[in-house]
Amino acid sequence: MRARLADRSGSVVRDRVRLGYEVFGEGDRAILLLPTWTIIHSRFWKMQVPYLARHYRVVTYDGPGNGRSDRNTERSRYSADSYAKDAVSVLDECGIDRVVAVGLSLGAGYGVRLARLVPDRVDGLVMVGPSIPLKPPLPERANIESSFVEPYPDDVSGWEKYNAAYWQDHYHDFAEFFFGQCFREPHSTKPIEDSVGWALETTPDVLIAEAFAPPPDEDWSAAVAALSCPVLVIHGTRDAISPHERGAEAARLSGGTLLTIQGSGHIPNVRDPVKVNLAIRGFVERLP
């Protein structure tokens, strides 16, 4: 059962891919809760939607490959720039001119690209646990991209499971491992189970295509430094996916505010929803 049902739902087609969206609440301000890595869909915002929709119009949508959107294995459809164009299409379909964009992990990068693509339509940007390569990865994740297409070892363990062939053979096991890394906080069984269930709504082929998405033409550091809108960065100290230093650098480059949540992992909007919700609302209320 959902705590808050959508007031409007539908879909829009961009570049031959149907994207499912939902709209909640009313208000002079609109908040766009962006997709993240396609391994999960927009339900990961379920602890933000009911609260924020009391005060604002809130839009969520599923990126290509999961949820109510078309499954697609075209690599270019998973670039950060493509996600930004998807977001514009959703906003146009919903009749929304200006938003505060909120992105988790990879979604933070989609928010950066959206703000660079249509700066006149983004009043503010909230980045949660940004997985933007502004600082080196954690040591245990340093080689995952270079070994992604190599054969996985017989005694595979840890981040060796971030491997295309392993996903094809043992996708469920990888999903359980990955979300165990995302939720490092005690008593995280329920969010891990939820996330694994959402992961099983897509396929390894989709995630493999996304792994080869083309990078943006603009350097990430330059893009973040060039943002013209106010920025809030929220990052947990126990993030085992993207180091806290990345969030700190995103705040520094953008001239934004950094909110550090002690003891929180990679998805603080799920494990620390009150702190995240209040931070988002406070940020929105301070905007001109």
Angstrom distance (rounded) from CA 92 to CA 74: 24
Domains of the chain are 8-139+217-286 (3.40.50.1820)
Q: How confident is the model at residue 1 (pLDDT cuts 50, 70, 90)?
A: confident
Strand-pair category, 57-61 with 99-104: unpaired
Closest residue by Cα to residue 180 from 238, 259, 235: 238
Angstrom distance (rounded) from CA 284 to CA 182: 27
Q: Would you state the structure tokens that stand for residue 231, as one six-digit string?
A: 């920025």
- The predicted pLDDT at position 28 comes to 93
- The predicted pLDDT at position 11 comes to 98
Largest CA distance in the chain: 57
DSSP string, 34-86: ----TTS-GGGGTTTHHHHTTTSEEEEEPPTTSTTSPP---GGGGSHHHHHHH
pTM: 0.97
| Residue pLDDT, tens place only, 167-209 | 999 999 999 999 999 999 999 999 999 999 999 999 999 999 9
DSSP bridge pairs for 233? 127, 258
Rounded to a whole number of angstroms, the CA Rg of the chain reads 18
Burial pattern 77-114, b for ≥16 Cβ within 10 A else e, equals bbbbbbbbbbbebbbebbebeebbbbbbbbbbbbbbbb
- Those residues whose C-beta lies under 8 Å from the C-beta of residue 154, and which sit 6 or more positions away, are none
| Residue pLDDT, tens place only, 86-114 | 999 999 999 999 999 999 999 999 999 99
Distances (CA, A) of 105 to 126, 239, 266: 11, 11, 8
Residue 140 pLDDT greater than 90, yes or no = yes
Q: How confident is the model at residue 285 (pLDDT cuts 50, 70, 90)?
A: very high
Angstrom distance (rounded) from CA 284 to CA 91: 18
Average pLDDT over the chain reads 97
| Residue pLDDT, tens place only, 7-50 | 999 999 999 999 999 999 999 999 999 999 999 999 999 999 99
- The predicted pLDDT at position 225 comes to 98
Q: Would you state the structure tokens that stand for residue 147, as one six-digit string?
A: 């070994």
3-class secondary structure, 183: coil
| Average pLDDT over every residue of 124-144 | 97
- The predicted pLDDT at position 13 comes to 98
Burial pattern 5-17, b for ≥16 Cβ within 10 A else e, equals ebeeeebbebeeb
| Average pLDDT over every residue of 200-222 | 97
